[in-house]
Amino acid sequence: MRITAIRECTIPVSRYSDPAIASGGLTTSLVAVTTDVVRNGKPVVGYGYASIGRFGQGGLIRERFAPRLLIATDRDLADDSGTNLDPLRAWNVMMAGEKPGGHGERCVAVGTLDMALWDAAAKIAGLPLYRFLAEKLGREVPDAPRVAVYAGGGYRYPNDDLTRLSDEIRRCVDLGFTHAKIKIASDPLDQDLRRIDAAARQLTSAGHLAVDAMNRFDLESGLTAARALAGYRLHWFEDICDPLDFATQAEIASAYGGAIAAGEALFSYAEAALLARHGGLSPSRDVLVFDPVHCYGVSGYLRIVETMTAAGWARGAFWPHGGHLFSLHLCAALGLGGAEVTPFAFAPFAGLADGLQVVQGQTGVPQGPGIGFEANPAIWRAFQALH
């Protein structure tokens, strides 16, 4: 059981369905991991990408983590039967010699490769990823699981913002979403409130709308925003301040009183423990939006789930960030609350696999072997360019 090749490239991704709108130069890394296992006359290849929001990690992938996988022995990579990859063992190979702390964005490089390893292993097993992962962890899952989802997006438009935001949320509702999330905190508060009003009008109520401050508030501005937002009874208020400023978050959370979402910009179980201990969050009310790819992949994410459940959180509180098919599988396998989907942003990774529809805020999970990238033409074209 060997990995024979790893290919990587970095591509631009946009926060908007129209990539001509300036989007901060965001990128993401794509990887293809080729194994020595042959199915239907071809080697099995697993695909992964670096989620969205943290930029590509090509240097770390090529120079540090891919070489460790390429020189690993069968014993390092194979499961007990010797007939399939064991992604948990492969994760240990990638992390060999890494020092504690210093998470930086190496976690994203590892998570990108980890996604591809799980895709390959599930394909070798002939199973959709959610079923392969559940069996590996000894969990039972339905034959055709449904996952609650919300529409992520709602970035500020440079022109006609309120009109275009309203149109975006209305299109999300037309696609079957019942809940959506928009961005705030890049404009004065009165404009943020107008954005909330415009988006909420397209939904059943403001209770179906979440807002994401993208970690921009300090204590004073965050308290001002919390007081203004409290009356809306929003679905949740996400990423309020610097992700490691737990004291500020705790004070704003106390003043706000509604549901807070946090964790997107935290990357390890140690940081999750600090959030649980000092972040002022309530397991009975609040939401955890850790991104599995940005948290060192499945192995790291499982440790975060263990850390937070030990601190009193239910699995239903986890709503993975990222808007990708990988998270749908993890939600189904691990019994999580639900996942973000980005219907229009971050092409080619926007939307779902062909054949999946959102019905009353829920969607299915791809049923082909692996993650199911092959069932989304735009995603599949991007990965095929690696070859």
HSE of 239, CA atoms in CB hemisphere, 13 A: 20
Q: How far does the chain reach from its first CA to its final CA, in angstroms? A: 21
CA 384 – CA 45 distance, rounded (Å)? 11
Count how many residues are written for the chain: 387
| Active site (annotated) includes residue 103 | no
Got the DSSP string for 320-378? -SS-SHHHHHHHHHHT-S-EEE-SSSSTTS-S--TT---BTTEE----SSBS-GGGSHH
255 φ/ψ angles, rounded to the nearest 5 degrees: -70, -35
Q: Report which secondary-structure segment, H or E, holds 11.
A: strand 3-12
| Active site (annotated) includes residue 321 | yes
Got the DSSP string for 265-312? T--SHHHHHHHHHHS---TTT-EE---TTTTTHHHHHHHHHHHHHHTT
Cα separation values, 112 from 127, 375, 383, Å: 20, 19, 13
Residue 80 marked ligand-binding: no
Give CA torsion, residues 156, 162, 163, 165, to 10 deg: 50
Residue 212 marked ligand-binding: yes
Among 123, 183, 324, 329, which one carries the catalytic annotation?
183
CA 84 – CA 105 distance, rounded (Å)? 29
Residue 264 marked ligand-binding: yes
CA 25 – CA 93 distance, rounded (Å)? 32
Among 136, 179, 321, 329, which one carries the catalytic annotation?
321
Active site residues: 183, 321
Specify binding-site residues for Mg(2+). 212, 238, 264
